[in-house]
């Protein structure tokens, strides 16, 4: 069982999907937004037009990737490695999208292989590019195929205190809300399935942690204005349990920021974070 590096560059067929105002509201609540963030959690508040959290791109995009061409791997041994978004304009409250995905990298990590992919979404009504979603999957047992190991990360935090720090508490039932946005993997809801994966209870979706982190970046760096949020990249480094408290630390340099998210025990759960903003 191994990945196929010759699949790099393979593109999938365009796929179409649509979402509504209600979907955007549900996503916002799923990543912890509440009564202090009414532009994202309501659609009928006086003088408050509905807006969309930038990180919702991760559930709207990602379609059309020809994952079946990447080689052989066991989905049960696959974990989410990295996630990134690039936004070309603010995400509207509802729209129909067309996405085209591509395999952008296959790396041999020895006992594991890594699949990198990207998907670009456009607005069907106008043909305008909306955002790109980038991600990597770490596939245990699918390495040792003689491929390249891939580039080494060069991430290094400044030797000074963070410029901004935001702490959010997740709820014990956070995963049960977030899963309603589309990811029904029982790892996040079924205790017996979580036990098979070696966890004593269901874990939080990595992309939910990503969404909590994105909220902190949006409010701290962009004055809560989604039109100023341009990109966000990070690497998942440790599972988060529902009920954990997340602290996002940010180091700003002009229109760029490095960030890192830790849990209440000081463990890094989202690492190598980079964000750009206007």
- Name the active-site residue from 12, 81, 206, 211: 206
**Coil vs helix vs strand at 216:** helix
- Name the active-site residue from 101, 103, 203, 211: 203
Edge-to-edge strand order for the sheet containing 15-19?
Answer: 15-19, 95-108, 112-123, 129-140, 78-87, 229-236, 268-277, 256-262, 245-253, 164-169
Q: Are 95 and 122 in contact (CB under 8 A)?
A: no
- Name the active-site residue from 4, 108, 183, 271: 183
Q: Are 122 and 129 in contact (CB under 8 A)?
A: yes
DSSP string spanning 74-92?
-GGGEEEEEEEEEESSPPP
- Name the active-site residue from 30, 188, 271, 273: 188
Phi (first) and psi of residue 66, to 5 degrees = -80, 65
- Sequence-separated (6 or more) residues with CB below 8 Å from residue 120: 61, 99, 100, 101, 129, 131, 132
183 is catalytic: yes
203 is catalytic: yes
C-alpha span between 97 and 15 (Å, rounded)? 8
C-alpha span between 131 and 129 (Å, rounded)? 6
C-alpha span between 234 and 212 (Å, rounded)? 13
C-alpha span between 260 and 249 (Å, rounded)? 5
Residues with a known catalytic role: 183, 188, 203, 206
């Amino acid at each position: 069982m191994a990945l196929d590096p010759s699949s790099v560059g393979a593109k999938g067929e365009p796929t179409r999907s649509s979402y509504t105002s209600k979907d955007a509201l549900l996503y916002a609540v799923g990543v912890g937004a509440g009564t202090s963030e009414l532009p994202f959690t309501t659609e009928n508040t006086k003088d408050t037009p509905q807006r969309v959290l930038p990180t919702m791109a991760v559930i709207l995009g990602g379609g059309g990737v020809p994952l079946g061409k990447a080689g052989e791997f066991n989905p049960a041994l696959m974990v989410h490695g990295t996630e990134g978004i690039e936004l070309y304009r603010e995400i509207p409250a509802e729209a129909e999208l067309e996405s085209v995905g591509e395999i952008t990298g296959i790396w041999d990590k020895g006992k594991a292989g890594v699949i990198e992919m990207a998907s670009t979404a456009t607005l069907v009504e106008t043909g305008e590019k909306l955002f790109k979603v980038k991600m990597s999957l770490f596939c245990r047992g699918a390495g040792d195929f003689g491929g390249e190991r891939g580039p080494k990360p060069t991430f290094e935090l400044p030797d000074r205190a963070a410029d901004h720090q935001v702490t959010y508490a997740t709820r014990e039932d956070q995963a049960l809300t977030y899963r309603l946005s589309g990811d029904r993997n029982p790892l996040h809801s079924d205790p017996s399935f979580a036990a098979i994966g070696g966890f004593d209870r269901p874990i939080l979706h990595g992309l939910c942690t990503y969404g909590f982190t994105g909220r902190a970046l949006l409010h701290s760096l962009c004055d809560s204005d989604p039109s100023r949020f341009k990109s966000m990249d990070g690497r998942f480094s440790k599972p988060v349990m529902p009920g954990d408290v997340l602290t996002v630390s940010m180091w700003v340099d002009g229109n760029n920021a490095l960030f890192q998210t830790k849990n209440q025990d000081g463990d890094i759960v989202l690492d190598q974070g980079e964000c750009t903003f206007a």
